[in-house]
């Protein structure tokens, strides 16, 4: 249960941002670029940078990761993948809203 919880903690914000960006790009939804939904998603995106590593640690601890070498392996594999996902979601959503980095 902890692995699922950690995964949800780590990926919730980037996946919601990415989902909205994909739906917007495919014209499935048409939110106002300066509307409340987009502003809310853009304002909580930085929180995803804090929750991502926390979720990774929760998932790894629940899985029973012990030892410095195993922790290094977990973090070296998961943090770059998480960072790429978060950055892609933030850039795509911001670009559609007319506010890229």
Residue 101 resides in a domain: no
**What's the pLDDT band for 99 if we cut at 50, 70, 90?**
confident
Residue 65 resides in a domain: yes
Structurally, how many domains does the chain consist of? 1
Model pTM score: 0.84
Tell me, rounded to whole angstroms, the distance of Cα 48 from its chain centroid.
5
Taking alpha carbons only, the member of 47, 59, 52 closest to residue 79 is: 52
Let me know: does 82 contact 13? Beta carbons within 8 Å: no
Residue 24 resides in a domain: yes
Q: What pLDDT digit, counting tens, does each position of 15-73 carry?
A: 999 999 899 889 888 888 788 888 888 889 889 999 999 999 999 999 999 999 999 99
Domain boundaries, position 36: 2-96
Radius of gyration of the chain (CA): 15
Separation between Cα atoms, residue 4 and residue 47, nearest integer Å: 19
Tell me, rounded to whole angstroms, the distance of Cα 21 from its chain centroid.
13
Taking alpha carbons only, the member of 4, 1, 7 closest to residue 52 is: 7
Q: Is the pLDDT of residue 101 over 80?
A: no
């Amino acid at each position: 249960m902890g692995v699922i919880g950690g995964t949800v903690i780590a990926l919730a914000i980037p996946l919601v941002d990415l989902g909205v960006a994909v739906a917007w790009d495919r014209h499935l939804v048409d939110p106002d670029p300066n509307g409340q939904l987009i502003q809310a998603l853009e304002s909580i995106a930085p929180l995803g940078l804090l929750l991502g590593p926390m979720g990774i640690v929760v998932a790894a601890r629940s899985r029973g990761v012990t030892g410095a070498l195993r922790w290094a392996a977990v973090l070296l594999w998961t943090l770059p993948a998480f960072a790429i996902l978060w950055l892609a979601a933030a850039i795509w959503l911001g670009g559609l809203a007319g506010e890229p980095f």
